[in-house]
Structure 1
Amino acid sequence: MKMLDLDLDAMALADLKKLQVQVNTAIKTYEDRQRKAAIAELEAKAAEMGFSLSDLTGNHGSRKPKVNPPKYRNTEDLTQTWSGRGRQPSWIKDAIARGESLDQFLIVK
């Protein structure tokens, strides 16, 4: 690793600011560059042995986030559903305030 021999005192302010931006970017991306280099090395070794890295790690693409299916449906507007998780939608709150039961909105499957 070579240390640059810069005379910072002789540099113009614009050049110092440009250098500062470049250094900050290099610091922020250092781990990412190291990770990419490690992955490339591992992929090359796996290919040398007749495999892909995903074959060896079991990583076959990104996982889709789990979506909770709707458990309740608004009987007045069938496009409105709720999974039963998280905050109650206003149509559920309003129905409960009117004394209606949550069970009447259940989607029976």
Structure 2
Amino acid sequence: MKSNFAEFSESELASMIDNAQKALREKHDNKRKEVVNKIKELATSIGVNVDITEITKPVGRKGSKVPVKYQNPQNLSQKWTGRGMKPKWLQALLEEGRDIKEFELGA
């Protein structure tokens, strides 16, 4: 099924995409139901009772913002949350013998 998508209007393309996404979600949901039913059937065949809980929210902190904890007093655009590797500006200041507490916000 090859189509020349340039022939369709924006609204027609948007509608096609929406319909395709809905169809894909339905296929995934049906496949999930089939797998869950098969697992329960196999478990029952060996005398085991299983309870399958569906996870509805993604696990993890994807996209969460962390507040800034440190800032360079000589260049206020240079900030660090305290996570990950220390930025070069902070490493250089610490190597000069300065204390990291000097650069904490609210200190």
Higher strand share: 2
Larger Cα Rg: Structure 1 or Structure 2? 1
TM-score interval, normalised by the smaller of the two chains: 0.3 to 0.5
Q: Normalising by structure 1, what TM-score?
A: 0.44
Q: Normalising by structure 2, what TM-score?
A: 0.45
